[in-house]
Amino acid sequence: MDRHWKDHSTSHPLPCSASIPERARGSGLVGFLLAFIVLPFLLLLAGCEDESEPVVNVYSHRHYDTDEALFQRFSELSGIRVRVVSASADELIARLEREGPASPADVLITVDAGRLHRAKERGLLQPIESQTLNAAVPAHLRDRDGYWFGLTQRIRILAYARDRVDPDSLTTYEELAEPEWEGRIVARTSENIYNVSHMASLVAALGPEAAEEWARGVVANFARSPQGNDTDQIRDVAAGVGDVALVNSYYVGRLLGSDDPEARELGRQVGIIFPNQEDRGAHVNVSGIGVTAHAPNREHAIALMEFLAGEEAQRAFAEANFEYPVRDGTSWAPELQAWGEFRSDTLELARLGELNNEAVQIFDRAGWR
In this model, does residue 344 exceed pLDDT 60?
yes
Percent of the chain with pLDDT strictly greater than 70 = 87
Give the pLDDT score at 112.
95
Give the pLDDT score at 29.
42
Give the pLDDT score at 63.
87
pLDDT level of residue 31 (50, 70, 90 thresholds):
very low
Say which CATH topology domain 154-283+349-366 has.
D-Maltodextrin-Binding Protein; domain 2 (3.40.190)
* 140-153 tens-digit pLDDT: 999 999 999 999 99
Query: Model's pTM, two decimal places?
Result: 0.86
In this model, does residue 1 exceed pLDDT 90?
no
Domain 55-152+286-331 has CATH 3.40.190.10: yes
Q: Where are the domains of the chain?
A: 8-46, 55-152+286-331, 154-283+349-366
* 283-331 tens-digit pLDDT: 999 999 999 999 999 999 999 999 999 999 999 999 988 999 999 999 9
Residue pair 38/63 in contact (Cβ under 8 Å)? The answer is no
* 49-97 tens-digit pLDDT: 456 789 999 999 998 899 999 999 999 999 999 999 999 999 999 999 9
Give the pLDDT score at 30.
39
Q: Tell me whether domains 55-152+286-331 and 154-283+349-366 share a fold.
A: yes
In this model, does residue 201 exceed pLDDT 60?
yes
Give the mean model confidence (pLDDT) for residues 120-137: 98
Give the pLDDT score at 28.
46
Give the pLDDT score at 254.
94
In this model, does residue 12 exceed pLDDT 70?
no
> What average pLDDT does the chain have?
89
In this model, does residue 352 exceed pLDDT 60?
yes
